[in-house]
């Protein structure tokens, strides 16, 4: 598994984040900004990873591109109002 900021294309090369033109194309095609799309993807993946329970909070933070782990904690609080540990099913 590769973290979100380090996706690899079919040729095994790292894929850079979109440039200005790519961000504008994203807005035209999806109707949202690249940042909004990334936030939505991270939120969805975080929920799935937390619900699954197989990964640690640190592993989830790394996979979603949050370093340090505290950055993931702050993002989780913005999305759900609670920390990743609190959002995890009991």
User: Over the stretch 13-62, which tens digit does the pLDDT of each residue have?
Assistant: 445 666 777 777 767 777 778 788 888 889 999 999 999 989 999 999 99
pLDDT on residue 39:
86
What digits encode the pLDDT tens for the residues 2-13? 565 554 444 444
* Rounded CA separation 16/69 (Å): 23
Q: What is the pLDDT of residues 55-77, one digit of tens each?
A: 999 999 999 988 889 999 999 99
SS3 49: helix
Max CA separation in the chain (angstroms) = 44
Domain 19-87 CATH assignment equals 1.10.10.60: yes
- Interaxial angle between packed helices 34-52 and 69-80, expressed in degrees from 0 to 180 and rounded to the nearest 10: 100
Q: Is 16 exposed, middle or buried (0-12, 13-18, 19+ CB in 10 A)?
A: exposed
């Amino acid at each position: 598994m590769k973290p979100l900021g380090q996706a690899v294309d079919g040729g095994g090369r790292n894929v850079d984040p979109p440039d200005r033109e790519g961000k504008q194309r994203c807005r035209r095609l999806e109707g949202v900004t690249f940042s909004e799309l990334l936030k939505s993807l991270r939120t969805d993946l975080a929920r799935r990873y937390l619900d699954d329970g197989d990964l640690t909070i640190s592993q989830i933070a790394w996979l979603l591109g949050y370093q340090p782990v505290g950055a993931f904690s702050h993002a989780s609080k913005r999305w759900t109002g609670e920390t990743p540990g609190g959002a995890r099913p009991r």
